[in-house]
Amino acid sequence: MLEVTGLEVAYGRAQVLFGVDLAVAAGSLTCVMGRNGVGKTTLLNAVMGVLPPRAGSVSLDGRDITRLPTHERVRLGMGYVPQGHETFGQLTVAENLRVTWEACGGKDRSAIDEALDVFPRLRPLLRRRAGFLSGGQQQQLAIARALVTRPRMLILDEPTEGIQPSIVTEIEDVIELLNRERGLAVLLVEQYLDFAMRLADRFTVLDAGTVVYEGEGSRLQDEGVRQLLAV
């Protein structure tokens, strides 16, 4: 479904990605791993069109989207939950969802209800400002906001980072539901190995901006690969 080929990204003179290949099959869950600073967030930002690549291509369903702006990618079915569970802190939970829903065309109001069905704990908080939510609640809101656009593929950057364990389990259950029961393809950046191992069917490990492992989870426990993870 998603195919990234030979991706190179630089910040000014500092090149960060060096010919990265990545594939996410329809209905699958691919996890990108690697230590801090290896280029995981940069990769997702390039996949979403937030950063322009210097070389390489990104395609969705066989269509080249390398030059497409982010909002067009969202319209094609890519939902993005950036690192750091950013929400609009001054807006209420309901407003956070509505603003995103309106920005992406806002035709079918049931999209908001469906997103809330996935996170029922957000319902009693609808009138609370997002800035007053806990980190875990903000992450749930950030995922719900991406769901309001009715994506076919969900892209999540370290959804468990800095979040209390009880909510990590809830987020894991939601990602599992969306992937296994609703058939969403998922591209997940995750450093929490147990969480990633339970969810993902394919793994890509980055080191210093290049892919150093691609395959199933079985070999992730190998010493050589393990050293490249943050664990």
Ligand X SMILES: Nc1ncnc2c1ncn2[C@@H]1O[C@H](COP(=O)(O)OP(=O)(O)O)[C@@H](O)[C@H]1O
Q: Which region among 83-91, 141-149, 166-174, 190-198 touches Mg ion (by CB under 5 A)?
A: 83-91
Rounded Cα–Cα distance for residues 224 and 149 (Å): 40
What is the size of the binding site for ligand X (CB under 6 A)? 11
Rounded Cα–Cα distance for residues 104 and 164 (Å): 31
Using the rule CB under 6 A, is 39 a contact of ligand X? Answer: yes
Site for ligand X in 5-24 (CB under 6 A): 11, 14, 16
User: Residue from 37, 105, 162, 183 that binds ligand X (CB under 6 A)?
Assistant: 37
| 52 φψ region: left (φ > 0), alpha (ψ -120 to 50), beta (else) | beta
Among 32, 64, 58, 48, residue whose Cα is nearest residue 187: 32
CB of 83 to Mg ion, least distance (A): 5
Site for ligand X in 171-190 (CB under 6 A): none
CB of 161 to Mg ion, least distance (A): 8
Rounded Cα–Cα distance for residues 55 and 12 (Å): 14
- List the structure tokens of 147: 């769901």
Residue 11's binding partner, choosing from Mg ion, ligand X, none, with beta-carbon cut-off 5 to 8 A by kind?
ligand X
Q: Which region among 57-65, 81-89, 119-127, 223-231 touches Mg ion (by CB under 5 A)?
A: 81-89
User: Residue from 28, 30, 41, 96 that binds Mg ion (CB under 5 A)?
Assistant: 41
The percent of the chain in helix, strand and coil, each rounded to the nearest 5, is 40, 25, 35
- List the structure tokens of 53: 């690549």
Q: Contact residues for ligand X (CB under 6 A)?
A: 11, 14, 16, 34, 36-42
Q: Contact residues for Mg ion (CB under 5 A)?
A: 40-41, 83
